[in-house]
Amino acid sequence: MRVQLLAATGAVALLLVASSAMASDGVPHAERNPAPSRAEPTSAVTADPAVPVARLTGAGSVNHTAARYQVHGTDLGIIWDNGAGEVLMAFGDTYGEGWGGNGAGPRDADWRCNVLARSSDTDLADGMTFDTMVQDRPGHAGQLLDCKQVNNDEETVIPTAGVTVDGRSYLHYMSVHHWGPPGQWFTNHAGIAYSDDNGETWTKDPDAVWTNTPEWSSAFQLAAFARHGGHVYLFGTPNGRFGDAHLARVPAGKVLDKDAYRYWNGSGWSPDEATAAPVAAGTVGELSVQYNEYTGRWLMTYLDESRAAIVLRDAPRPTGPWSNEQVIVSGSEYPALYGAFLHPWSSGPDLYFAMTQWAPYNVTLMRTSLSVPPR
């Protein structure tokens, strides 16, 4: 991902970047739930301020990715369970030899739009070690998804979410047309790619595509996947960091069938994407969502650009109501922070997530501790 300027707060604004009964019309009956409001309920989960555990990427990291894979600078770190004893971790714009040392670029510094690591590390208390990274030649992390690297056409292709169903991995990505003002970027479309060889090679499905509108206002350009109760839930936000979160779901076996998606319209599940209503209001950037067994709640983490902070929200159901925001990492303490991608093997009370800072443009494993009131 690429970035362009400092926010007044001192944090950098990144510019990248269940089954249910069926009604007679074939649409599942709704999970009844009130629409979200700006006055959100109090959180049922308390989270301590997050602390760094270990740097995961770059020179001097626990994985020594600069020397081992020519990954000197990178960002994001989307994490999902591959169902076979590993997690896969996808990164955004990645640079090797010639990297500038602070933020993305230059363009000729061995730029790859996206790369991927695998890890079987179950003890996250001292960091998360990589077993390997997908390589296009020995000692060099290879690009997963093709991208043109042409500004005002397709500048980059960046992963935003991943999930595995029955051995096939699905990677949600966004095709970035160009960067814009602070905290904003503009996408051509979002799509889903799939891999049947544990992330080694990927195919972009030509039909699983959410084309952006002429006004750059599609609600499903960035995403978070969450698999639960026979469905894969797709939480979506518009391009940039200033939109609300919306929700769709699809039977787990039909992730690539765009016609099978149903969109939460505030009172039920609709086949019409245009009816999708916000489930969580806010300035939601780089969203991550999971059902948390320890708390019995759904958890959501993201960058709130208006606060220059990573925040946590919780809810009883994916449709909400989502709680107020709790700040778990402040940009005043960790300048230029963004991304807060939850580790799927992290349930609680310790909750681990991957966070990026623009400087030094690398990813750190963070930890917060959760608590819930007596039931």
pLDDT of residue 295: 96
Closest CA to 27 of 369, 292, 359, 262: 262
Q: Tens-of-pLDDT digits for all 375 residues of the chain?
A: 554 333 322 323 333 333 333 332 233 333 334 344 445 788 999 999 999 999 999 999 999 999 999 999 999 999 999 999 999 999 999 999 999 998 999 999 999 999 999 999 999 999 999 999 999 999 999 999 999 999 999 999 999 999 999 999 999 999 999 999 878 999 999 999 999 999 999 999 999 999 999 999 999 999 999 999 999 999 999 999 999 999 999 999 999 999 999 999 999 999 999 999 999 998 999 999 999 999 999 999 999 999 999 999 999 999 999 999 999 999 999 999 999 999 999 988 999 999 999 999 999 999 999 999 776
352 vs 103: CA distance, rounded Å: 24
Which residue's entry shows tokens 């989270």? 47
Alpha-helical segments (H) within 241-319:
none
Closest CA to 231 of 248, 214, 219: 248
Domains, the chain: 3-19+67-371 (2.115.10.20)
Q: How many CB atoms lie within 10 A of CB 196?
A: 12
Exposure of 16 by Cβ count < 10 A (0-12 exposed, 13-18 middle, 19+ buried)? buried
Closest CA to 15 of 178, 175, 198: 178
pLDDT of residue 38: 47
310 vs 314: CA distance, rounded Å: 14
Asked if residue 360 has a cis previous peptide bond (ω within 30° of 0), the answer is yes
- pTM confidence score: 0.90
pLDDT of residue 187: 98
119 vs 95: CA distance, rounded Å: 21
| Residue 143: C-alpha distances to residues 71, 90, 156, 202, 217 (Å) | 11, 10, 11, 10, 28
pLDDT of residue 15: 36
Tabulate helix, strand, coil % of the chain (nearest 5): 5, 45, 50
pLDDT of residue 374: 76
The answer to whether 258 and 190 have CB atoms below 8 angstroms apart is no
pLDDT of residue 1: 59
Q: How many CB atoms lie within 10 A of CB 32?
A: 8
The answer to whether 197 and 217 have CB atoms below 8 angstroms apart is no
Q: How many CB atoms lie within 10 A of CB 275?
A: 13
> Sign of the CA dihedral 94, 98, 100, 101?
positive
Altogether, the residues listed in the chain come to a count of 375
211 vs 175: CA distance, rounded Å: 10
User: What letter represents residue 305's amino acid?
Assistant: E
Paired with 190 in beta bridges are: 174, 210
The answer to whether 318 and 30 have CB atoms below 8 angstroms apart is no
pLDDT of residue 375: 65
